[in-house]
Structure 1
């Protein structure tokens, strides 16, 4: 399936408006609910009375400056559920045309597997082009136009799901919570006696072995040459001294007593960051061994963002599935308890009001958004309540995301 999309002065979709974000999300979700397809931007299209589909009448290529690829992906990640891995392409208008020049922009939308349907837009829209809070809609393709799933059909789907959940096939625990992976990584990194903050990312529908794990340019090379915000001595998942090693069809990169990263053969990822003076508590430790041990706000935020920069950008695209992210704070109440304070890290001597962890087995998950700054925010949004704090107390957060520029500053 395909659609021809004209371009405006602001680009094919004006993402500075709610209406533009809705139109983009609606078109993408509708194609995902069908058989996938292409949204081709840069043509004047018209549908004749005796034709089922639009046809191109005029070419209208435009400049690449009218489209910010990152904003397109952000809008789709924010307003379409489940996460869809669209691909964006540019094609040049043939050279030598004295009348027209520019480029064509194409959005390739994958078909959503039958088991994962339906894709929805997480906002409705008013006649004035404004988002409606606490609303949603399910767009579907109808010939060359987009319709919406009727309320009666949505009601039937919800009830069918409820009836299925009441049956004996309901799993007693979430399939994405791989406890054994955390235990294996903890042992490999020598953190059995250390409180650990785990990050996990699991495909909801594993497809078998991840292709080219050990090939040139594959995951082993990516782990060994990570694109980090700062060097490998900073708070990320790169290692100066160790290389990723094959491990049961996957990869293991462990930096003893500090951090470890395990990628399994199906793409599932587990990261472990030690809550000690070498990692999460860097430069925060008190000289007294009996006092609670404080976690650095900066280190916590950087290691969290770096995890999602690695996983969202390099692992999620490898498996055609929705994904679940999870954070687990293990043994944070073990004496001396780990603490976190609101605001930024204070200068010496330590000031502020650090709050102790309130659970030794903190475990929360969410559906992956595929945007590192957004997913890092969602992780922190689940970590901060462990200490009785709000994520807004973190100075590197703005609205619903971690701001990379604030960390780098």
Structure 2
């Protein structure tokens, strides 16, 4: 088995299936790092500091990528690239992320805002135990390239003062921009700066498909209701997604969803309607509760009503007589996680590259308005302190992480901010992720009436 994209590789780690990564070749988007007694990078040495800065800058210059620590890679006979061949999880104490940040701040220009993630090795694995450490490197915008390391290094592994290098990812290796190319870029930049036309408009924000939201809202008959939208769009669509209607394809997956609980719970499944073809994509509606639209290039829009049919489920007793207003914390969290479990696992792998997730809350502040509270849903008659939505057009996006529980956390972080709340007050959040285990525990209590 092997991972063919960043999303799929992260999904394997999040699902505690590191063995599925074996066979993945190093490339322009992934580099595997085995771990010495001093960690993936020995930051006590100039060489270790340089290697970290170099690897991060190289990926930033190449369109972004993952540094995956805890796998041994080897070049096999008759293969061009090194391939992950063995999982080697390790103890978290070997990595001090603050030290990693300090090195990157000191030795990389411009500053690259990397993200650090830990993933657990399966607890029941008999051979070994530990964790995997992933450094996610974002791509530098074309206008900001190139990232450089502010030190060169000698053959003996010592920093060279008053020197710099520009690393670039080349397949499974790192090369350095030649001096002649650096000279040409400097001169090109000077000429372009002199001739810059400041009247050129800024590009439109990526991946905001307003029309798709309007189409889905109309299909669900929710034009006059507050709606929470989820959207996921590839930054570089590549035409028709293959196998949309084939056996085992997206239509079958939407018809037979693997949900946390039953199809009658708060998810995107429906026992009463089936996904219908629409302009090369699919449309699955369950009016007036929720619906999904998959476009022909893989872009997805999901819509959930913020009424008593869905997000306001069982909250009628807490309104003030002017209509259902309160958002059910459990429903909001479960439907959010279920969206990313479905989309991250089954749609993102179909289009390689970077994806953007987006949250849009429409008409949440329109009278009578929608409210949300800290903590768990209230137990009657205690209403609890509530916060009113502060905008009718709340629109925020982030780069897809590929891990459903982490992307669900990012979505909730955006939603809670609409109400002036921090996502940490959600009882189903654990650190920087939504806990499926906590949701299942709550679901069982609901089903048994406890």
Tell me how far 1:346 sits from its aligned partner: 1.5
Alignment-derived partner of residue 246 in structure 1: 277
Residues 44-84 of structure 1 deviation map (CA, whole Å, 9 limit, x = unaligned):
99xxxxxxxx999xxx976x6859xxxxxxxxxxx99899x
Residues 215 and 25 (structure 1 numbering): CA distance in 2 closer, same or farther, change over 3 Å? farther
Whether 1:190 and 2:200 are equivalent positions in the alignment is no
Alignment-derived partner of residue 403 in structure 1: 435
Asked if structure 2 preserves the Cα contact closer than 8 Å seen for 1:6 and 1:43, the reply is no
Tell me how far 1:170 sits from its aligned partner: 2.8
Among candidates 244, 248, 255, match of residue 286 of structure 2: 255
Asked if structure 2 preserves the Cα contact closer than 8 Å seen for 1:81 and 1:119, the reply is no
- Aligned to 1:327, the other structure's residue is in SS state strand
TM-score scaled by length of structure 2:
0.62
Alignment-derived partner of residue 327 in structure 1: 359
Residues 344-380 of structure 1 deviation map (CA, whole Å, 9 limit, x = unaligned):
1111224211111111111111121222111111111
What root-mean-square deviation, in Å, do the aligned CA atoms of Structure 1 and Structure 2 show?
Answer: 5.1
Structure 2, gaps ≥5 residues long? 1-24, 42-47, 91-103, 105-111, 116-138, 149-164, 442-450
Give the distance between the partners of 2:81 and 2:294, measured in 1 at CA.
Answer: 47
Asked if structure 2 preserves the Cα contact closer than 8 Å seen for 1:324 and 1:365, the reply is yes
Give the distance between the partners of 2:166 and 2:435, measured in 1 at CA.
Answer: 31
Asked if structure 2 preserves the Cα contact closer than 8 Å seen for 1:242 and 1:255, the reply is yes
Give the distance between the partners of 2:231 and 2:174, measured in 1 at CA.
Answer: 40
Whether 1:371 and 2:399 are equivalent positions in the alignment is no
Give the distance between the partners of 2:197 and 2:404, measured in 1 at CA.
Answer: 32
Give the distance between the partners of 2:271 and 2:439, measured in 1 at CA.
Answer: 22
Residues 217 and 292 (structure 1 numbering): CA distance in 2 closer, same or farther, change over 3 Å? closer
Tell me how far 1:9 sits from its aligned partner: 8.7
Among candidates 355, 359, 377, match of residue 391 of structure 2: 359
Alignment-derived partner of residue 174 in structure 1: 205
- Aligned to 1:294, the other structure's residue is in SS state coil
Give the distance between the partners of 2:354 and 2:228, measured in 1 at CA.
Answer: 23
Asked if structure 1 preserves the Cα contact closer than 8 Å seen for 2:315 and 2:324, the reply is no
Among candidates 359, 367, 378, match of residue 346 of structure 1: 378
Tell me how far 1:236 sits from its aligned partner: 0.7
Whether 1:140 and 2:168 are equivalent positions in the alignment is yes
Asked if structure 1 preserves the Cα contact closer than 8 Å seen for 2:217 and 2:223, the reply is yes
Give the distance between the partners of 1:223 and 1:116, measured in 2 at CA.
Answer: 40
Alignment-derived partner of residue 231 in structure 2: 200
Alignment-derived partner of residue 341 in structure 2: 309
Asked if structure 2 preserves the Cα contact closer than 8 Å seen for 1:308 and 1:375, the reply is yes
Asked if structure 1 preserves the Cα contact closer than 8 Å seen for 2:26 and 2:32, the reply is no
Give the distance between the partners of 2:173 and 2:52, measured in 1 at CA.
Answer: 16
Trace 1:1-12 onto structure 2 (pairs within 5 A). none
Among candidates 218, 221, 236, match of residue 249 of structure 2: 218
Residues 188-225 of structure 1 deviation map (CA, whole Å, 9 limit, x = unaligned):
11212211000111122211111111011111111111
Count of residue pairs the alignment pairs up: 343
Residues 232-253 of structure 1 deviation map (CA, whole Å, 9 limit, x = unaligned):
1111111111111101110000
Give the distance between the partners of 2:216 and 2:244, measured in 1 at CA.
Answer: 19
Alignment-derived partner of residue 104 in structure 1: none
Alignment-derived partner of residue 301 in structure 2: 270
Asked if structure 1 preserves the Cα contact closer than 8 Å seen for 2:312 and 2:324, the reply is no
Give the distance between the partners of 1:302 and 1:314, measured in 2 at CA.
Answer: 18
Tell me how far 1:303 sits from its aligned partner: 0.8
Give the distance between the partners of 1:226 and 1:25, measured in 2 at CA.
Answer: 43
Residues 283-336 of structure 1 deviation map (CA, whole Å, 9 limit, x = unaligned):
112365316610011111111111111111111111123221111111112222
Alignment-derived partner of residue 48 in structure 1: none
TM-score scaled by length of structure 1:
0.67
Give the distance between the partners of 2:207 and 2:33, measured in 1 at CA.
Answer: 42
- Aligned to 1:211, the other structure's residue is in SS state coil
Trace 1:289-300 onto structure 2 (pairs within 5 A). 289-290=321-322, 293-300=325-332
Asked if structure 2 preserves the Cα contact closer than 8 Å seen for 1:293 and 1:339, the reply is yes
Residues 11-35 of structure 1 deviation map (CA, whole Å, 9 limit, x = unaligned):
x969xxxxx9x98998698579679
Tell me how far 1:175 sits from its aligned partner: 3.9
Give the distance between the partners of 2:389 and 2:235, measured in 1 at CA.
Answer: 30
